[in-house]
Amino acid sequence: MSLSNGRHYVAIPGPSVFPDQVLRAMHRPGPNIYAPEQGVLMAGVQADLKKVVRTSHHAAMYIANGHGAWEAAVANVLAEGDRVLVLATGRFAHGWASMANAMGVETEIIDFGLRSTIDQERVQQALAADKQHRYRAVMAVHVDTATSVRNDTKALRDTIDAVGHPALLMIDCIASLGCDKFEMDLWGVDVVVAGCQKGLMTPPGMAFVFFNQKAAGYRDQKKVVSGYWDWRKRAEPEEFYQYFGGTPPTHHLYGLRAALDIILAEGVESVWKRHEILANTIYTAVECWANDGPVELNIDDKECRSHAVTSVRAGAPHGTGVRDWVFEHAGVSLGIGLGMAQPDDPEWHGFFRIGHMGHINSQMIMGVLGSIDAALKALDISHGSGALEAASSYLANHNK
Ligand SMILES: *Cc1c(COP(=O)(O)O)cnc(C)c1O
């Protein structure tokens, strides 16, 4: 007998749950890539991606994962010897920085630790001290998937403007696009990187770089950009994929088309709202557990918590205990404490993360919370009571 038989929920923070419509759209024979419909498909996907990231500027599509988008962004606007300011609030800005480093870019990193957002004062000081405007860009992550902190991107723009610094603002939106509210143009973001396998609900394999005119100007100043990553032609998808770019990612495009249809039918703002309410349902439950015992949210400040992923501290070895229990007895996979500790450190076993990005609804979230609640009881991990009651009340009151 196993209580985990039935549909499994992979509640890790990406790849996320793929809708049946997306999978069905991909389950078909290969197309003739030279047929005119292929160009139409790509142009439509490109236009609709821009609606999700809220830009009227440019979108370049790549056959790549998020790491590819990181490299693409750097390749187009930065050169060997350039200096950038990187703002780290977890693991992923460090990852992007080391990618830039490997390409000869000098990275100066301000690390804000694992439990807080970017301190705008410190950014302001760093930019003001850069009198010669050596920083070509400020690089940051919107939602860090390890810590589940959400950084205020608009505040970052305001800080850069207040100092009058010309640096580009480059944001990693891989975890948050299609989950947390994000406004590329309104917030004045120059370059955004994203992937298809998180809020965009499509199997991993496509990545995107969005860029405005200012960033395009940086590209134009560069003498050399490696051919695959050069975004100039990619911003013209019909031409590019049919004649210059090689074989397009045919089935990913079908899947992504279906995913964008789902997002646009719901409405981008409604998608954000759904994530907000479901995330708050999770915080409500974890706050109850936190009333007694070791379990607590990694991010204290409610305003700085992501709506796409929640990082929970449970104390070692309870993090791994909970993950193993819900996998074995409830059919749920939770995320590991990536970036919170090293795998050879006993602390590594002190965390779990709940991915709640993309194709998620109330019953999935209540199911995950109920499963964790049962795990805490089964493993005798002390915890405050009433978490499920509070979560369901929250849902009831915010879903009218
Ligand atoms: C997932 C993720 C990445 C890395 O994406 P890959 O597709 O795994 O290369 C980078 N940044 C953030 C914020 C992410 O969530």
pLDDT digits (tens, 9 = 90+) for 232-265: 988 876 666 666 578 889 999 999 999 999 999 9
Distance between CA atoms of 31 and 35, rounded to whole angstroms? 8
With CA atoms as reference, report the closest residue to 160 among 113, 205, 128, 186.
Answer: 128
State which ligand 1 atom lies nearest to the alpha carbon of 141.
13
Query: Looking at residue 113, what is its pLDDT?
Result: 97
Between the CA of 175 and the centroid of ligand 1 the distance, in Å, is: 7
Render pLDDT for 139-180 as a digit per residue (tens, 0 to 9).
999 999 999 999 999 999 999 999 999 999 999 999 999 999
For residue 168, give the nearest of 198, 193, 147 by alpha carbon. Answer: 193
Residue in 82, 304, 62, 29 with CA at minimum distance from that of residue 193: 62
pLDDT, position 241: 66
Q: What is the DSSP secondary-structure string of 126-139?
A: HHHH-TT--EEEEE
| Ligand 1 atom closest to 14 (CA) | 1
Instruction: Identify the residues whose C-beta falls under 6 Å from ligand 1.
Output: 14, 65-67, 92, 141, 145, 172, 174-175, 195, 204
How many angstroms separate the CA atoms of 99 and 381, rounded?
A: 40
**Cα 326 to Cα 245: distance, rounded to the nearest angstrom:** 44
User: In sequence order, what DSSP letters do the residues of 152-215 get, joined into one string?
Assistant: -HHHHHHHHHHHT---EEEEE-TTTTTTS---TTTTT-SEEEEESSSTT-S-S-EEEEEE-HHH
Domains belonging to the chain, first-starting first, are: 9-16+267-397 (3.90.1150.10), 31-265 (3.40.640.10)
The pLDDT score that the predictor gives to residue 218 is: 97
pLDDT of residue 38: 87
**pTM: predicted TM-score of the whole model, two decimal places:** 0.97
Residue whose tokens read 């640096």: 167
Distance (angstroms) between ligand 1 centre and the Cα of 141 equals 10
Rounded CA separation 351/13 (Å): 14
As a whole number, the mean pLDDT across the chain is 96
Residue of 86, 89, 92 to mutate, ligand 1, most atoms within 8 A of C-beta: 92
